[in-house]
Amino acid sequence: MRIQPNLATMQRHYPPKHLFSHCHQIYCHSQDDDESLSEKQIDIESFSLDEITEAVASLVIFIKIYPVVLNHGIAHDYGEQQKAQCHNENSLFLFRESLYHIFHGAKIVFFFQKRCRIPLFRGCVISLWRTLFVFLLFPDTELKKLFLFTTKPKLSQARALPFRKRFVSLQKTSLSMAKIQIKSETRHELSFFPNSFDDYVPKDSKVRMVDRIVRSMDINPLMDTYDGIGAPPYSPKMLLSLVVFAYINGVYSCRGIADALKYDVRYMWICGGKQLSFATINRFRSNHMIKCIDFYFDAVVSILVEKGVISLEEQYVDGTKIESKANKYTFVWKKTVEKNRAKLLEKTSAALAQIKEQIRLNGGSDIKEEDSEPATSAKDVERSARLCERQAKNLPKAKLTGREKQKLNTQIDHLFKASDKLCEYEKSLDILGERNSYSKTDPDATFMRLKEDAMNNGQTKPAYNLQIATENQYWTNFALYPNPTDTLTFKPFLDKYKKRYGKQSKSVTADSGYGSEENYEYLEMEEMMGYVKYNWFHKEQHKPFKEDAFNQANFYYNRDDDYYVCPMGQHMEPCGQRQTKSDSGYVSVITLYRAQRCDGCPLGSLCKKSKGNRTIYVNHKLNAYKKEAFLLLTSEEGLKHRSQRPIEPEAVFGQMKADMHYKRFRHFGMDKVYMDLGLFGMGFNLKKYLGIKR
């Protein structure tokens, strides 16, 4: 029978005073003369199981109570009053006399040293307990002998010598004859005093810093997402700290975080050894963090501002496309939907007219004028199909044969199917909006051309356009957009920055993908220094561009009289205006200038390719913005910002994709993808601030 080391049970069956007095008797027995002991060896069978159990229980009690006794400052020399108090079984001082005998006299330790050859070394009390516990595990005497006493121990004569003589004799012993002692493996052994996870994590560990920062944030926005129904949830601070630390170390999946809780002591320390399931972590992210991700991202940025790492006075804006989790073969194109819808409406109108004519010829009721109008939507087709179905039922039976009536009903059924298909097309157009495509598995994703093209064939994939703003290589703002062009994202992105922090930055730096009349006008209205390039910024500084006399950018313009001069000296007068509207709805005014006589011009073949007089299109407002942008970009401050831009957002994108392997989203839908990206941004900023390396 295996006896469980229950301290309370041992104390109840074996009172400590009786146990330690018994240990004293055992020790006195072991102090017999060495010569007599060697002549008549005490056999292990002479000790009963109860005696050994009492010794084990006494030692367990000593191990448990020894730290408490020391903390209470109990001295070894005590008086009669304290001795009398030791007889009280409910008193802590009961163990003082026993402690004196065991700790100083080492009675039971010395006894089993002689019987079991246990050397006295640091931690011998624990080793002694492990040896004595064998007798509880193996009640059979033969098993005890086999486990501990395979050969009868013999006492050495050197043990009786003084310490100095023994030391000299050991020095004379050859090192080659010394036995190699290997420490025992203890991974399968139970511990009476299990260590805390706090003991395995150093005080200066990065996980402690991350946990301290996360727990310093306001938890109320996260608590507001709980409804208080059901079982008590896990601590939101603990879960937030766990998820943020996982994103810092490149663990983005819930299953990966759940696995890390089983083998990584840092994750165990955050959760206090709790084994959370992946579903618990997923619910925390999808149901709670999705509602307040902006708050905690801003909280991390606020901490960086307080530490003086960033100032929120500069923005370096850039964008990249990240592939969605959606299936890349479930695409819907806007042009295809519009084309198929128009064809189906045309066929449906023709079929509807034929059905109405057949009903009228076979004695049906007259068709109203409003019902005879062509269908333009799914509702119109469905309404007309129901009207035809009702009229077909009321036709005289003598007018139609069975085959003709079956054919008429089949045509009406086709109308209902066409109505369902048109409804599907209209729903697709609503999802598309201003986009040109979307994925059926993730309707928020748009098909875009990505740089990471594994097939190297320019194949489009469902993706999101990620826009970020950085300062000192820290994330200060981020947003997701379904359209692939960066030009249309500039204004809403800066508006979000202003909404996030309540103010705009003093300056913003971006590449030529953001240079447009609408964006320059926005920077002027917000009174921001915009170091934003335009399309021809680099080309117009090259010599071939400047020396091209036939380029309209090099034509002389008379601002007072409003005319251009061609290379032959002919005046090009304004001949009209045009308005263009961007996808965002911004209207630009373009002025047309045309020469009067280009026929017979010797430079005509070099100046133009079309027939007739040369016409140029000029946007004066955009040209004025370009001149201001050129002066800013070529200034000393502009050169500084231009040199800083490649090592700001582009370096961040490199670390994001190459170092942290964040190349593809793991969620469906804009909301969940945004939440995942916000957690990554928090982890990225904290990782850089704390200097954490994978």
Least confident of 10-14, 414-418, 491-495, 547-551: 10-14
- Contact between 668 and 442 under an 8 Å Cβ cutoff? The reply is yes
CA-CA distance, 275 to 279, in Å (whole number)? 12
- What is the rounded average pLDDT of the residues 174-191? 70
pLDDT given for residue 585 in this prediction: 86
Instruction: Give the tens place of pLDDT for each residue, 19-33.
Output: 444 444 544 444 444
Asked whether residue 44 carries a pLDDT value surpassing 80, the answer given is no
Is pLDDT of 342 > 80? yes
Say if residue 251's pLDDT is above 80.
yes
Cβ contact 375:342 at 8 Å = no
pLDDT by residue (tens digit) across 229-239?
888 899 999 99
Banded pLDDT at 271 (limits 50, 70, 90): very high
pTM (2 decimals)? 0.69
Task: Please give the pLDDT value at position 507.
Answer: 93
- Across the chain, mean pLDDT equals 76
pLDDT band at 401 (very low <50, low <70, confident <90, very high): low
Q: 301-309 — which CB contacts under 8 Å span 24+ positions?
A: 301/474, 301/475, 301/476, 301/685, 303/213, 303/216, 304/474, 304/685, 304/689, 307/689, 309/472, 309/474, 309/689
Amino acid 410: pLDDT: 83
Tell me: pLDDT of 71 over 60. no
Reading the block at residue 14, the tokens are 């074996």
Pairing of the two strands 571-581 and 587-595: antiparallel
Distance CA 286, CA 673 (A): 10
* pLDDT at 264 exceeding the cut of 70: yes
Cα Rg, the chain, nearest whole Å: 44
SS3 label, residue 379: helix
Pick the more confident residue, 475 or 694: 475
- Name the residue with higher pLDDT: 100 or 182: 182
**Quick one: which H or E segment has residue 402?**
helix 402-432
pLDDT at 678: 95
The predicted pLDDT at position 372 comes to: 52
Q: Which of 99-103, 136-140, 481-485 has the highest mean pLDDT?
A: 481-485
Single out the residue of 285, 655, 677, 644 nearest to residue 480, CA to CA: 677
How far is it, in rounded angstroms, from Cα 496 to Cα 492? 6
- % of the chain beyond a pLDDT of 90: 35
Give the mean pLDDT of 283-305.
94
pLDDT, tens only, 423-457: 888 888 888 888 888 888 888 899 888 877 655 66
* pLDDT (0 to 100) of residue 533: 92
Nearest-angstrom CA–CA distance, 318 and 475:
11
Mean pLDDT for the stretch of residues 445-470: 82
Q: Is the pLDDT of residue 489 over 70?
A: yes
User: 364-387, pLDDT tens digit by residue?
Assistant: 655 554 455 566 777 888 888 888
User: Which range among 94-98, 295-299, 323-327 shows the weakest confidence by mean pLDDT?
Assistant: 94-98
Tell me the pLDDT tens digit for each residue of 662-676.
989 999 999 999 999
* pLDDT greater than 60 at residue 64: no
Spatial CA neighbour of 489 closest among 281, 659, 320, 242: 320
- Distinct helix (H) and strand (E) counts, the chain: 28, 13
Q: Does the structure show a pLDDT above 90 at 354?
A: no
Mean pLDDT check: name the lowest of 369-373, 491-495, 537-541, 597-601.
369-373
The residues pairing with 318 across neighbouring beta strands, listed in sequence order, are: 468
- Whole-number pLDDT of residue 16: 46
Model confidence at 280, pLDDT cuts 50, 70, 90, reads very high
Q: Which one has a higher pLDDT value, 422 or 84?
A: 422
Per residue in 5-17, pLDDT (tens digit) is 444 454 455 454 4
pLDDT value of position 529? 92
Residue 462 predicted with pLDDT over 60: yes
Q: Are 462 and 328 in contact (CB under 8 A)?
A: yes
Convert the pLDDT of each residue in 601-647 to its tens digit.
888 888 888 888 888 899 999 999 999 999 999 999 999 999 999 89
Is 82's pLDDT higher than 90? no
- Over residues 337-366, mean pLDDT: 78
Please determine, for residue 97, whether its predicted confidence score (pLDDT) is greater than 70.
no
Mean pLDDT throughout 391-420? 76
Hunting for tokens 């909006």 — which residue is that?
433
pLDDT digits (tens, 9 = 90+) for 550-582: 888 888 898 888 899 988 888 888 888 899 888
